[in-house]
Amino acid sequence: MTIIKINAITVPGDNGDELAGRFAARAGAVDNQPGFQGFELLKPTDERNTWLVITRWVDDESFQAWVNSPAFGHGHRSEAERAGQPAAPHAGISSELWSYEIAGGSLG
Ligand code: HEM
């Protein structure tokens, strides 16, 4: 069974490219985590400013283990922070965690 955890990040104005760049710089940071099945970063193409990080996991325990792991903390710190320097401001101003399971669908 696959479960879906979505981080919905509100990104003001023209900060989107910065956010996308930060994700690209950290691509692969979650790939070897047990139970991880994949993620996509979704950019809004309408007037919304909410970007979605759609992550898929085999079960809730696998997701919780990642969120509570050093790997999560490491992957969410910038190079500057890792080097002991002050953190750059976040590209987003707020975020929400949304939790889903697949209730139906089909493949095209
Ligand atoms: C559902 C799981 C996830 C949670 C709960 C989570 C949590 C967060 C939070 C709270 C932020 C700060 C948002 C803000 O700027 O207000 C953030 C940003 C970020 N996350 Fe995640 N995240 C998740 C998945 C991922 C994944 C899979 C990756 C990539 C490996 C990732 C990489 C990043 C990056 C690069 C940022 C931007 C940080 C910045 O603006 O400096 N996250 N995440």
Domains of the chain listed by start with CATH number = 3-101 (3.30.70.100)
Cα first-last separation, the chain: 20
Q: What is the pLDDT of residues 40-86, one digit of tens each?
A: 999 999 999 999 999 999 999 999 999 999 999 988 887 788 888 98
**pLDDT tens-digit series, residues 5-27:** 999 999 998 899 999 999 999 88
pLDDT class for 28, splitting at 50, 70, 90? confident
pTM check: above 0.85: yes
Q: Quick count: other Cβ atoms within 10 Å of Cβ 71?
A: 15
Q: How remote is the CA of residue 11 from the centroid of ligand 1, in Å?
A: 12
Name the residue of 3, 6, 7 whose CB sits within 8 Å of the most ligand 1 atoms, as the mutation to test its pocket.
Answer: 7
Which atom of ligand 1 is the closest one to the Cα of 5?
1
